[in-house]
Amino acid sequence: MSQPPKTSSSSFHIAMFPWFAIGHITPYIHLANELASRGHRITLLVPNKARLQLQHLVLHADLIVFSPVAVPHVHGLPEGTEIASEIPIHMTHLLATAMDRTRGEIEQFLTVSKLDFVLYDTAQWVPGIARRNGIKTVCYNVVCAAALAIALVPARNVPKDRPITEEELREAPAGYPSKNVVLCGAEAKALTFISLPYGEGITFYERTTTAMKECDVLSIRTCRELEGDLCDYMEAQYKKPVILTGPVLGLGSDKKSEKLEERWEKWFSGFEAGSVVFCAFGTQWILEKEQFQELVLGFELTGLPFFVALKPPSGCATIEEALPNGFEERVKGRGVVFGGWVQQTAILSHKSVGCFVNHCGFGSMWESLMTDNQIVLVPHLGDQILNTKLLVKELKVAVEVEREENGWLSKDSLRKAIKSVMDKDSEVGVMVKKNHAKWVETLSSPGFMSGYIDRFVQKLKEIVN
């Protein structure tokens, strides 16, 4: 680990130590950019593979430095694993163990650095070290307030001697303020993992609630306009102010997104404005082969041009070997299924894109809200289910693909959802478009995003004084 730069009295030196996942590190980098643009210096403590994948997002290389964390090997994880996108979901608890075993390295860094703040989310042991070194802590959560408020609060009675049940999770904790953003039926299953081990000798619930109890400042990447009542509930539960950063979309002051690769720029430009359906499911979801095939057939059925960026399904080394028979021939010229990394924000702002089919990861949720594309949601993990409720039931800006009782997503159901927002004369399509346009206006109104960051920085100043 490299030596950190020295702090000056006029600005903060802030370390960031987010969960080892692209969906978490990305918003931390966006926040680092915002803080650096206000003169603060940031050291990002992240695994080297994350640095290599995301360093292009850094807009102020003079003030933001990476200090790569050496992730130790943990039995049960593939050799060399550093970030969550490299492993299936059921192995991530072992990655939490690996994160905990970086403690010595992190402690050494925090001890020798002249830091004002450290931001973290998953490493519940950071506040103890920080306190001993006179550093203030911010537990910065990059999932929606709803996911925290429904599952990770003291009022959620998680049994100590057995796993929490789906039935228990379907009941919201006492005082939970939303009637719409709740878990229904089989959805509760997606959150049963909270009472299971996540690291050695600690459950997911224990580590995240400890992380939030022990910090000086509790912070969430959300805005009051979307989740004000849920943030108030979090304040009441944790008995401390909850400071929001707003969506922090990493657009910088010039509002430019990443540049789209030339081959894709050319491909997208071959279609009419607003006609292409783009699909991406974030950095972690690996579909089963059958489900993958059913979904791509659903895109084919829409008759619309489509660009699908998904990981190869489980058991397949490449996308090509996973495609249904004759599929490539049939969709030639109007459909692409790609297994690599694409510049999602650049695609979303391309004029030929008209619809975004996504898993409603918190990053994709904000990115989809910021464009005028129609939104079709296929949530997979617990927080994504709640994000989906926010967009579908509260804001009414999106539709969700209906699943069968056993969780299966049929091609017809996908086709139906896409057509319901893409057909010009569809009532649902018109309604979500209108509601969505109001949100784009709010989110892009002058001072909206920067106001949140300014107030966040102001709060940090009050805390050190």
Ligand X SMILES: O=c1ccn([C@@H]2O[C@H](COP(=O)(O)OP(=O)(O)O[C@H]3OC[C@@H](O)[C@H](O)[C@H]3O)[C@@H](O)[C@H]2O)c(=O)[nH]1
List interacting residues with ligand X (CB under 6 A). 21-24, 26, 143, 280, 282-284, 309, 341-345, 361-364, 367, 381, 383-384
Between 365 and 453, CB nearer to ligand X: 365
Q: What are phi and psi of 436, to 5 degrees?
A: -65, -40
Say whether 109 sits in a helix, a strand or coil: helix
Residue 115: CB atoms within 10 Å:
22
Between 284 and 413, CB nearer to ligand X: 284
Residue 279 parent element (H or E) = strand 276-280
Q: What angle do CA 19, 367, 188 make, to 5 degrees?
A: 60
Between 120 and 362, CB nearer to ligand X: 362
Using a 10 angstrom Cβ sphere, with 0-12 exposed, 13-18 middle and 19 or more buried, the burial of residue 252 is: middle
Between 45 and 129, CB nearer to ligand X: 45
Say whether 102 sits in a helix, a strand or coil: coil
Residue sitting closest to ligand X (CB): 23
In 328-414, DSSP assigns E strands to: 335-338, 353-358, 374-377, 398-400
Between 115 and 212, CB nearer to ligand X: 212
Nearest approach, Cβ of residue 22 and ligand X (Å): 5
List b or e across 312-347, with b for residues whose CB sees 16 or more CB atoms inside 10 angstroms: bbeebeebeebbeeebeeebeebbbbebeebbbbbb
Between 178 and 371, CB nearer to ligand X: 371
> For tokens 């070997």, what's the residue?
321
Per-residue three-class SS string for 200-262: CCCEHHHHHHHHHHHCCEEEECCCHHHHHHHHHHHHHHHCCCEEECCCCCCCCCCCCCCCCCH
Token digits of residue 335:
């459909």
Between 53 and 178, CB nearer to ligand X: 53
Nearest approach, Cβ of residue 384 and ligand X (Å): 5
Nearest approach, Cβ of residue 282 and ligand X (Å): 3
Nearest approach, Cβ of residue 184 and ligand X (Å): 19
Nearest approach, Cβ of residue 21 and ligand X (Å): 5
Roughly what angle, to the nearest 10 degrees, separates helices 411-422 and 289-302? 40
Per-residue three-class SS string for 13-53: EEEEECCCCHHHHHHHHHHHHHHHCCCCEEEECCEHHHHHH
Between 27 and 335, CB nearer to ligand X: 27
Between 209 and 284, CB nearer to ligand X: 284
Nearest approach, Cβ of residue 239 and ligand X (Å): 26
Nearest approach, Cβ of residue 264 and ligand X (Å): 11
Nearest approach, Cβ of residue 391 and ligand X (Å): 13
Nearest approach, Cβ of residue 420 and ligand X (Å): 23
Between 178 and 384, CB nearer to ligand X: 384
Using a 10 angstrom Cβ sphere, with 0-12 exposed, 13-18 middle and 19 or more buried, the burial of residue 40 is: buried
List the 117-120 sheet strands across, edge first: 64-66, 41-44, 13-17, 117-120, 136-141, 217-220, 242-244
8 Å CB contact between 54 and 75: no
Nearest approach, Cβ of residue 71 and ligand X (Å): 18
